[in-house]
Amino acid sequence: MFRLTFSIAFLFVWTLCEIVVIEKQKDQIYSGHVLFEVPMPMWSICAQYCSRVKICKSINFIAANKTCQINDAEPGKSECALVESIGNSFVAASTFPQELAGQCKENNCKLNEACTPRGTDYYCVPLPIKVSEISTQLRPGDCSDLPQGSCSGVYTIYPSNETIDVYCEMDTAGFGWTVFQSRMDGTVDFNKTWKDYEIGFGDLKSEFWLDKSTNRHDRYSVNGDSLMYFYNSNTWNQNGMMFSTYDKDNDRSPSNCALAYKGAWWYNSCHYSNLNGKYLGGQHSSNADGINWGTWKGFGYSLKSTKMMIKRQ
């Protein structure tokens, strides 16, 4: 007990003597990137610990229970990357002055170790977690696990044993949607193979297909030239229709619907909608091979943007 008290006191003195200035962001935290937590008496000690841990890119300090959260990322420039969290604080490691690490400046400790100063030297101690290990309660399983107030954008989520980046839609239809299809400018070709749809393709910041883990529609909403399509199930068929690509014909037509309509969809024989069709950007003279929603704008009008998304119930 005495030794513990002493070492904490020493850290305080050390910090005060160095007069290291660290800027924290009050009443804000960065969520979704917490690697592990350690108890710490105050936020500046938490920042100092972070400066000695290679995988630490930023910290949250939770004041109520004096918890230091070590994040493996820094937020981007987006205005609402940080979420409001009254009484707590956030510090990005890139803003640390070099002296903060003390003897541990430019240390040779490994990724799974924390550097600890000793005299004029330092030693390395294992982190309280395995770096490869995921602490599930600290990591969002999907977009709806992120704290209220998080903005739309790309987040790392941890469903079961995976680590994947996804685009979370937080604004347009309520909070917590995981987007699995996005069209907006025609930069990505969606006329792709079964294999492509199985693993996903495109760019999360613009147009993409996440993977085939989602399906069956629940409801949809339309707005101008945009359409949003909401899913609520985890099966790979829709109203009994199997998904088809041009190289895998699961439709109910004697012909190949995906080939005929240049898309990949839950074709029957063949379709009322074709959101993975060709990006034609409005009116088109070809028949039903654009991003069509037949009952809304007909088969000669290709929508300019679509999003298909899913939320856990």
CB of 270 to Ca ion, least distance (A): 9
Q: Which of 241, 240, 215 is nearest to 230 (CA)?
A: 215
CB of 276 to Ca ion, least distance (A): 17
Nearer to Ca ion, 156 or 268 (CB): 268
CA distance 167 to 165: 7
DSSP 150: P
Return residues touching Ca ion (CB under 5 A): 249, 251, 253
CB of 264 to Ca ion, least distance (A): 13
Q: Which of 258, 268, 215 is nearest to 238 (CA)?
A: 215
Nearer to Ca ion, 38 or 259 (CB): 259
Nearer to Ca ion, 241 or 303 (CB): 241
CA–chain centroid gap for 130, Å, is 22
Question: Angle between the 2-18 and 43-51 helix axes, to the nearest 10 degrees?
Answer: 80
Q: Which of 160, 134, 158, 163 is nearest to 145 (CA)?
A: 158
Which residue in the block uniquely carries the two structure tokens 């996804």?
Answer: 166
Nearer to Ca ion, 42 or 260 (CB): 260
> Are 154 and 288 spatial neighbours (Cβ–Cβ below 8 Å)?
no
Q: Which of 155, 160, 163 is nearest to 31 (CA)?
A: 155
CA distance 102 to 124: 14
Nearer to Ca ion, 196 or 251 (CB): 251
Nearer to Ca ion, 145 or 249 (CB): 249
Nearer to Ca ion, 244 or 302 (CB): 244
Q: Which of 112, 121, 108, 162 is nearest to 140 (CA)?
A: 162
CB of 242 to Ca ion, least distance (A): 10
CB of 197 to Ca ion, least distance (A): 17
CA distance 262 to 144: 33
> Are 158 and 146 spatial neighbours (Cβ–Cβ below 8 Å)?
no
CB of 209 to Ca ion, least distance (A): 22
CB of 292 to Ca ion, least distance (A): 19
